[in-house]
Structure 1
Amino acid sequence: MMVSFILILLWVAMYRRLWRNQGDLSIGGICQEGSFAHTLYMYVNTVLGKSLQAMEARKLEKLLRQVQSEFGFQIRSWNLVKHIADSSLVARIIAKDGKSYMLKSLFIPAERQRFIVESERRLAQEGVKLARPISTLSKHPFILYNETPYVLYEWIKGKTGQLRDRSDLVALTQVMARLHRRSVRVVYPDDIMPYEHVRWEKEYRDRIDSLKSWAQSHQTPSSPQESMIQRYLPFFEHVAEVALEQLLASDYDNYMNGQVAAKCLIHGDFHQKNLIKHKGQWVLIDFEDVRYDFPSKDLLRLYSMYTRFHPFDTKTFNSMMETYFRHHPLPAGAKRLMLTDFLFPHIVERTLRKQVYASMKTEMLKHWLKQEKRKAMYVSLILSHKQWH
């Protein structure tokens, strides 16, 4: 009996480490409160959690001493907000003078981190509200610890955004449009290498191949979800090919080569959780995917988050697009190119490639596929009119 109990403890401990490595310590859906499993988990969490926190503290001790030395303040307290091994680390630091900071590392090359920080600084100079990076005493944009860059940011206090209804979507679209408009004025020093998204022709072709590959490898569906996708996939493969044709006939190269002012800096992960309401204003955080691209990439990201819980309707879609163009006017050809990117089934391809559908209930998947199809049909209709109304 004792051996079995010890084995259970070890099993829970092992999975606790896995949850920690994934940055998710929640037990919702795993152990119901009041159950034996929940009691056992909480026991292990208490006993082993303290030792794990102590191990993390020891690992971070040298890093925090370096932070104090290079930024010139004494640390009163700190807590680990997020830590995914070799992926990201976020810690909140409170200095002895009471100021709060965020220490962050993405475990990326210094060159890429330098572009991110320089983008944040120059966007802030253009009036974009964001969490500002803080330079070291020697004016460096970050510190290097074990050859990994760590950036110190001001801590932004407030509530994250929401996407409850159309008004929320429109409000966040305004923030995005202003970001893009102001980013056009950003100029980098010669020693900063700008980062750009992969060219769309390659992206479209790769994703079309991905859709075809999924269809080929799932000719015999093994689940109701796969059967459902097979019914809709021919439609999405068709609109992907149509979008590629539209792209090849567009002025995409002129826009991306700077001959027409439409290329801008995009956030790369623009959604409600990356905006914080601070002193009555929206403040952007997490620019880790910032790069030069076309505005549709941010708009697609935000809209995909909205449509997770809302059905497609033309009024909402039109309101979003019209709001964007009102705050960031673009040439007619650029508007058409944005719609082309909305026509391409990016979200569908990603859902298949990442196998997100496997955890979706069949009815939910069916509803979502219907909404994606309705969106594509509506965008196709707009493109057939040759202009945006």
Structure 2
Amino acid sequence: MHSEHPFSQLIPDVIIDAVESSSDQYTNYQIYPLNSYENRVYQVGMEDGPALIAKFYRPDRWSNKQILEEHTALSLLEKKGVPVAAPLAFNGQTLFEHANFRLSLTNKVIGNAPEAEDLDDLFQIGELIGETHSVLTKLPLIGRQSPSLIESIESQIKWLLASPSDVSKTQTSTLPHALQKEFITLFDSLMQMSKDVMSQSGSIQRQTIHGDCHASNLLKSITGMVLLDFDDIQTGYPCQDIWLHLTAKEHHQQQLSELIEGYESHHPFDRRSLALIDAFKLERTVRYAAWLSQRWNDPAFPKAFPWFGTQDYWLGLRKELIDLKAQWRNDTE
């Protein structure tokens, strides 16, 4: 099953041919794989110039229209001076096809990961997210219809609780039958808490956001922060791009203060959305588990996540959900 996955055909010769035919430039045949599982991303050395980053999109995930909508957003951000890694255009195109793969090319960004506990870095991250949202608020998404927060949580939970025959999952990635009842009870409780907090938070405006703005998608270059990988660009709440930069609970208020102060130097921030952070945590937790399960037939996943699907994994997820519920209750009581 694994050998038949489309990415198994992405061998070095295909990568080189794809980059050379798309850019109309020669490579120096040096390929370095970068850390990406949803897509495949490579640093490719060029004969007459700096290396390029080649991103090969996962087949059947996004349509060409949806990918080009991502490219339009990035091009607009770049035009407005927002530091992002925008796709390069060759002969007026940013999306290319080769050997049944779709790809884009960007310049390599040199930098380091921001420091999670550094308040100056958090202020700069807030500035960058605010600047990004300020531009993206003028660009509603048409081709990417994003579900609501509640719909997203419900769909991920439905996947995790489905039987292997229902969703064609492998046995390795299936929630053990012995834990099903307890997980159903946990999910029901957490879903109700999510619905309650949503109903109490008022009509918070959604807009176009990055959608996966964790620290690994940021680089601190010599000129400042750069935002990478808009593959999950979506319609959502601005706070969804902010809360991922909170670390230890005891520092949340100070960290939020820096993030929001930086953010508001470019764009207004609706503080009512902070009440949704626990619901965002739940959505990301169940989405990550469902994502691992959904991608289990990709040979990169069993290799990179050998612990997934084990009894210890599901017990760990159960504890994570119990802890989230307990903390949520402490936050709201």
Same fold (TM over 0.5): yes
- Tell me the distance in 1 between the aligned counterparts of 2:260 and 2:117: 22
Q: Which amino acid aligns with 1:182?
A: V
Q: Distance in 1 between matches of 2:149 and 2:319?
A: 29
Deviation (angstroms), 1:151: 1.0
Number of residue-to-residue matches in the alignment: 297
> Relative to structure 1, is the Cα distance of residues 340 and 365 closer, same or farther in structure 2, using a 3 angstrom cutoff?
closer
For residues 234 and 170 of structure 1, what CA distance do their matches in structure 2 show? 40
Unmatched 5+ stretches in structure 2: 164-174, 293-307
Asked if the contact 1:184/1:263 (under 8 Å) is kept, the reply is no
The runs of at least 4 consecutive aligned structure 1 residues that moved more than 6 Å come to 210-214, 364-367
Mapped to 2, the partners of 1:184 and 1:195 lie a distance apart of 15
Displacement after TM superposition at 1:161 (Å)? 3.0
CA distance in 1, matches of 2:242, 2:48: 40
- 1:257-309: CA deviation from partner (whole Å, max 9, x where unpaired): xxxxx433222221111111211411111111112211232234444xx4xxx
* Mapped pair 1:273 → 2:216: yes
Q: Is the alpha carbon distance of 1:198 and 1:133 closer, same or farther for their aligned partners in structure 2, counting shifts above 3 Å? A: same
> Considering only aligned residues, what root-mean-square deviation do their CA atoms show, in Å?
4.1
CA 1:61–1:337 in 2, change beyond 3 Å: closer, same or farther? closer
From 123, 147, 150, the counterpart of 1:198: 147
Q: 1:174 touches 1:323 (CA, 8 Å); kept in 2?
A: no
The answer for the alignment partner of 2:21 in structure 1 is 66
Between the two proteins, what is the percent identity of the paired residues? 14
Q: Partner of 1:161 in structure 2?
A: 114
Q: Is 1:349 equivalent to 2:304 in the alignment?
A: no
Specify which of 124, 136, 141 is matched with residue 183 of structure 1.
Answer: 136
Q: What code does the residue aligned with 1:111 have?
A: K
Structure 1 counterpart of 2:226, which letter?
V
Equivalent pair of 2:53/2:108 in contact (CA under 8 Å): yes
TM superposition score normalised by structure 1: 0.61
Matches of 1:58 and 1:132, distance apart in 2: 25
Q: Which has the higher contact order (CA 8 A, sep 6+)?
A: 2
Contact 1:90–1:103, Cα closer than 8 Å, also in 2: yes
Distance in 2 (alpha carbons) for counterparts of 1:175 and 1:105: 26
Task: After TM superposition, give the deviation of residue 348 of structure 1 in Å.
Answer: 4.6
Bigger Cα Rg: 1
List per-residue Cα deviations over 1:336-366 (Å, max 9, x = no partner): 244235346324534665567844597x768
Look up the match of 1:42: none
Out of 114, 120, 132, which is 2:86 matched to? 132
Note the alpha carbon deviations across 1:222-280, whole angstroms, 9 max, x for none: xxxx9xx94x985664343132134246544xx5xxxxxx4332222211111112114
Contact 2:197 2:276 in 1 (8 A): yes
The answer for unaligned runs of 5 or more in structure 1 is 1-14, 23-51, 256-261, 382-389
1:104 matches 2:32: no
